[in-house]
Structure 1
Amino acid sequence: MTTATAPVSSTSNPGWFAKTEGWLDARGKGAWIAAMVLGFVFFWPVGLALLFYLIWSKRMFNKSCSSRRMSRSMTSMRSTGNSAFDSYKADTLRRLEEEQNNFEAFLERLREAKDKAEFDQFMDERAKPASTEA
């Protein structure tokens, strides 16, 4: 009597290499490059192996995070087919962009006011020694 056992799936319990690869992929190309540089610094064969792996797996030449963000923003402007929802979405996005612009203008005014106050304080402190000498 033979019993059939299910093969152990490697995806249910990934090894340290797969976990590390997933962790680095989640953080993007910069994490891979940092790992490679650290590999060269601490033990050069590790850095060289990472460089070859990045080139072989084409991770070095695939799209960056900014292009993914751009494609995500392009899909947000795509029509859903429901004109009422599309109108609501367009109005909401326009309102949010307007609020963002207003907030950025407010922050700029705050920075200018702070800079002016600091400059005025500097000029007052500079004028004090001149008035005491006279």
Structure 2
Amino acid sequence: MTPAAPYTEAPSRPAGWLSRAEAWLDARGKGAWIAAMVLGFIFFWPVGLALLAYMIWSKRMFGKSCSHRRSHMARHAYGAMKPSGNSAFDAYKADTLRRLEEEQEQFENFLQRLREAKDKAEFDEFMEDRAREARAPREDEDA
């Protein structure tokens, strides 16, 4: 019987508490990192500053979440245009999308008119206030 080969590799160390904390925060997203940073600033400001520096250095602050969201939305937009294979459903989907686009355009036009009306009302009010202020000193002089 031959002796077993000696174990030459060092046993793998369990992840340190910093690695575990980093993994825990990563699992909960950017909000958890920001909350940890704010708490760090509240309890001991150098910890908050260190977390902020680490978040910027590791690109956690401005990293993948925004680009992930854009690619996720692009994937859904592509899915809306992809044919299903059922011509009746595809016709219904095309008609519905066209109708929704028209409604969106009408709503955007409505909002634009609403903004213009609000701007006009604010401008008219400004002009009335200005005219009232211009008349006020003359009325005081007459009295």
1:72 and 2:76 are equivalent in the alignment: yes
Unaligned runs of 5+ in 1: 1-14, 25-29
After superposition, the Cα gap between the structure-2 partners of 1:108 and 1:38, relative to the gap in structure 1 and judged at 3 Å, is same
Note the alpha carbon deviations across 1:36-56, whole angstroms, 9 max, x for none. 85588552665677678x67x
RMSD: 3.7
CA distance in 1, matches of 2:81, 2:38: 41
Q: Alignment partner of 1:81: what SS? A: coil
CA distance in 1, matches of 2:131, 2:54: 64
Deviation, 1:67, is 1.8
Aligned pairs, number = 112
1:115 and 2:115 are equivalent in the alignment: no
Q: Is the 8 A contact 1:79 1:86 kept in 2?
A: yes
TM-score of the aligned structures, taking structure 1 as reference length: 0.62
Q: Is the 8 A contact 1:37 1:47 kept in 2?
A: yes
Note the alpha carbon deviations across 1:58-84, whole angstroms, 9 max, x for none. xx4584211211111111110100011
Taking the TM superposition and a 5 Å limit, the aligned residue runs for 1:1-134 are 20-24=25-29, 30-31=30-31, 34=34, 38=38, 41=41, 42=45, 43=47, 60=63, 63-132=67-136, 133=138
In structure 2, the residue matched to 1:6 is: none
Deviation, 1:31, is 3.6
- Greater relative CO (CA pairs within 8 A, separation 6+): 1
Deviation, 1:21, is 3.6
Q: Percent identity?
A: 40
CA distance in 1, matches of 2:56, 2:127: 55
